[in-house]
């Protein structure tokens, strides 16, 4: 008799009840599940159920959400990752990055990678011009790579990429822009210095012709990114820095579509109107100039053992 009572109450508690909905679902987790997966899934279920309880969606609204996620998946291909874009516009990409790159004071902060990085871009000597389409206002970028104590880091690899003056990356306009337009790889010299020529970046929209763009519009947001140059700076023994530098005069700095702007990454772009200076760098006056130093923090992970 006693056995029947206890089995009845146990099975009742395993049945769905609105008030205990997340607990009912999480209680179903297997015993041998990896502790991390168990943590991730139970937290997700807890917060998802709390959100649904707060929102109280109609069936139509819930179906619209499912349709949005379906269309987001259908938009993904080898070149387009609409889910990353969704994570970007919701600030989640920046949050995950912030959690994983808590650097010491003075170290150059990370920001969003974005979808337009290409490994194996052309390698250039310092001073080379990466602008191959001749559009835009000329720019000289130079600076130094050091550690947090100010010691120069020679042979650091600096990968740089940006849009052209029409607001597109080369990979978005294959056959229209020259291949590898506005991207290249530089190496810091024996004293940590690097330099290259380019054009002043301008603001541009993230790809907004899919479900994420539609969602942005529905939320009363625009798709524009503040004008920037992308960098990845790497050197053995240091944390790789994935970052940008932003122009100070861009109206989208405080409302970058993917929350990529950090105050410490807004640079001082100066207009130079001096013929001698122009001749020295091999440009015509006027041109823009920005000096930007990268400060690398020691690697937070031990180097991987090699066989
Ligand atoms: C970019 O800066 O290239 C970018 C970042 C996030 C989403 C789309 C583009
Ligand atoms: Fe970009």
pLDDT digits (tens, 9 = 90+) for 212-265: 999 999 999 999 999 999 999 999 999 999 999 999 999 999 999 999 999 999
| Ligand 1 within 6 A of CB of 244 | no
130-168 pLDDT per residue, tens = 999 999 999 999 999 999 999 999 999 999 999 999 999
The sign one gets for the Cα dihedral 263, 116, 225, 259 is negative
**Confidence band (pLDDT; 50, 70, 90) for 79?**
confident
Active-site residue flag, 202: no
pTM of the model: 0.92
Domain limits of the chain?
2-56, 83-296
| Ligand 1 within 6 A of CB of 205 | no
Closest CA to 296 of 146, 171, 164, 168: 146
162-210 pLDDT per residue, tens = 999 999 999 999 999 999 999 999 999 999 999 999 999 999 999 999 9
3-class secondary structure, 74: helix
| Ligand 1 within 6 A of CB of 213 | no
| Ligand 1 within 6 A of CB of 115 | yes
Share of the chain above pLDDT 90, in %: 93
| Residue 141, token pair as written in the block | 């970028």
How far is 304 from 237, CA to CA, in rounded Å?
A: 11
Active-site residue flag, 20: no
Strands (E), 200-273: 204-205, 224-225, 228-234, 241-246, 270-272
Q: Please tell me which residue in 194, 203, 204, 244 is annotated as part of the active site.
A: 204
Instruction: Please list the residues that pair with 224 across neighbouring strands.
Output: 205
Q: How far is the CA of 230 from the centre of ligand 2 (A)?
A: 6
How far is 93 from 83, CA to CA, in rounded Å?
A: 11
CATH (residue range 83-296): 2.60.130.10
How far is 264 from 267, CA to CA, in rounded Å?
A: 8
Q: Whose alpha carbon is nearest atom 1 of ligand 1?
A: 114
The ligand whose atoms approach the alpha carbon of 171 most closely is 1
Closest CA to 250 of 233, 235, 234, 269: 269
Active-site residue flag, 169: yes
């Amino acid at each position: 008799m006693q056995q029947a009572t206890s089995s009845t109450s146990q099975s009742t508690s395993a049945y769905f009840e609105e008030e205990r909905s997340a607990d009912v679902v999480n209680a179903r987790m297997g015993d041998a599940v990896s502790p991390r997966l168990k943590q991730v899934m139970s937290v997700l279920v807890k917060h998802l159920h709390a959100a649904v309880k707060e929102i109280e969606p109609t069936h139509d609204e819930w179906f619209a959400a499912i349709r949005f996620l379906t269309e987001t998946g259908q938009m993904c291909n080898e070149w387009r990752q609409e889910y990353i874009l969704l994570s970007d516009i919701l600030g989640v990409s920046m949050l995950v990055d912030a959690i994983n790159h808590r650097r010491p004071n003075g170290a150059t902060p990370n920001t969003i990678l974005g979808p337009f990085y290409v490994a194996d871009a052309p390698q250039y000597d310092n001073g080379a011009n990466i602008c191959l389409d001749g559009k835009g206002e000329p720019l000289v970028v130079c600076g130094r790579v050091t550690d947090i104590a100010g010691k120069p880091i020679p042979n650091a690899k600096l990968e740089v990429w940006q849009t052209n003056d029409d607001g597109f990356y080369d990979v978005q306009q294959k056959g229209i822009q020259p291949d590898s337009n506005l991207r290249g790889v530089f190496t810091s010299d024996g004293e940590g210095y690097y330099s290259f020529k380019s054009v002043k970046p301008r603001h541009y929209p993230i790809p907004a012709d899919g479900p994420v763009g539609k969602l942005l519009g529905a939320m009363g947001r625009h798709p524009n990114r503040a004008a920037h140059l992308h960098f990845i700076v790497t050197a053995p023994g240091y944390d790789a820095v994935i970052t940008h530098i932003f122009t100070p005069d861009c109206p989208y700095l405080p409302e970058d579509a993917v929350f990529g702007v950090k105050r410490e990454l807004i640079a001082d772009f100066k207009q130079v109107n001096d013929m001698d200076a122009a001749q020295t760098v091999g440009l015509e006056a006027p041109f823009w100039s920005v000096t930007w130093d990268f400060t690398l923090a020691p690697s937070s992970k031990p180097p991987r053992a090699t066989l």
